[in-house]
């Protein structure tokens, strides 16, 4: 549960996400270092995550309610396989380099639970198809020209072992996102 004295400004760009285990965050960060073009700004290992739901600005009461349900959503760690690398939204005018992950049945079940809690709290649910991914790097604003990630081996069996409510911070070389509340996933692995 987050502290009740969280600065009001921290509720501006909130999202719920899965965080990889520390060892897998380092593996994903190494992959980003190999795959990202030189002009891309790689995210630190501590910032790597798979977003389940983006909220944007939320009322502190809704944030506290979301934090309270994290423990109920936190079940088993997820093992997810990477399915590819891509420059989004378009390789000709990329904004981000992402590692795409397979939408396993366990991940989709967790997403359905998250959506149920969002509906109960009156939070909007994104209508676009869910595309699980980890943002590896961001390209400079108004980058000229296309981008292609360097070929790298796909990572298999990445363990995601925490569920967190995050907020975006002013980007620094050390950290871009801050967890406002977090629950560790325990129990047998889910695929």
Average pLDDT, the chain: 90
Pairing assessment for the beta strands 50-56 and 14-20 based on DSSP bridges: antiparallel
pLDDT at 191: 73
Phi and psi torsions of 96, nearest 5°: -140, 155
The Cα angle at residue 175 between residues 5 and 183, in degrees rounded to 5 = 55
Give the C-alpha separation, 17 to 9, whole Å. Answer: 20
Residue 8 Ramachandran class (φ > 0 left, ψ -120 to 50 alpha, else beta): alpha
Tell me: pLDDT of 134 over 80.
Answer: yes
Quick one: which H or E segment has residue 87?
strand 82-88
Backbone φ and ψ of 175, nearest 5°: -155, 140
pLDDT higher than threshold 60 for residue 2:
no
Q: Which of 41, 49, 115, 191 is the catalytic position? A: 49
Query: Is 191 a catalytic site residue?
Result: no
Mean pLDDT of the 65-94 span: 91
Residue 183 has pLDDT above 80, yes or no: yes
CA distance 90 to 34: 20
pTM check: above 0.85:
yes
Residue 117 designated active-site:
no
The per-residue pLDDT for range 136-152, each reduced to its tens digit, is 999 998 777 788 888 89
Annotated catalytic residue, options 64, 115, 117, 133: 133
Task: Tell me the two tokens of residue 31.
Answer: 């992959």
Percentage of the chain beyond pLDDT 90 is 65
Q: Residues 161-174: what's their mean pLDDT?
A: 86
Distance CA 22, CA 59 (A): 31
The token pair at 113 is 């639970």
Spell out the domains of the chain, with CATH numbers in brackets.
Answer: 11-170 (3.90.1140.10)
| Contact assessment for residue 86 and residue 101, using Cβ atoms and an 8 Å cutoff | no
Q: What pLDDT sits at residue 112?
A: 96
- Percentage of residues of the chain with pLDDT beyond 70: 95
């Amino acid at each position: 549960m987050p502290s009740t004295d969280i600065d009001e400004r921290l509720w501006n760009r909130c999202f719920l996400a899965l965080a990889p285990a520390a060892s897998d965050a380092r593996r994903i960060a190494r992959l980003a270092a190999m795959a990202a073009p030189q002009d891309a700004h790689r995210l630190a290992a501590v910032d790597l995550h798979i977003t389940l739901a983006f909220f944007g600005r939320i009322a502190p009461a809704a944030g506290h309610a979301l934090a309270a349900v994290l423990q109920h959503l936190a079940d088993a760690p997820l093992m997810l396989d990477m399915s590819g690398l891509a420059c989004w939204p378009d390789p000709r005018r990329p904004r981000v380099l992402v590692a795409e992950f397979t939408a396993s049945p366990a991940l989709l079940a967790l997403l359905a639970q998250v959506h149920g809690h969002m509906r109960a709290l009156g939070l909007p649910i994104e209508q676009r198809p869910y595309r699980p991914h980890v943002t590896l790097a961001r390209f400079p604003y108004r980058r000229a020209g296309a981008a292609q990630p360097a070929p790298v081996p796909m990572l298999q069996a990445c363990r995601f072992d925490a569920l967190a409510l995050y907020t975006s911070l002013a980007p620094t070389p050390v950290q871009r996102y801050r967890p406002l509340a977090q629950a560790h996933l325990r129990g047998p692995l889910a695929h």
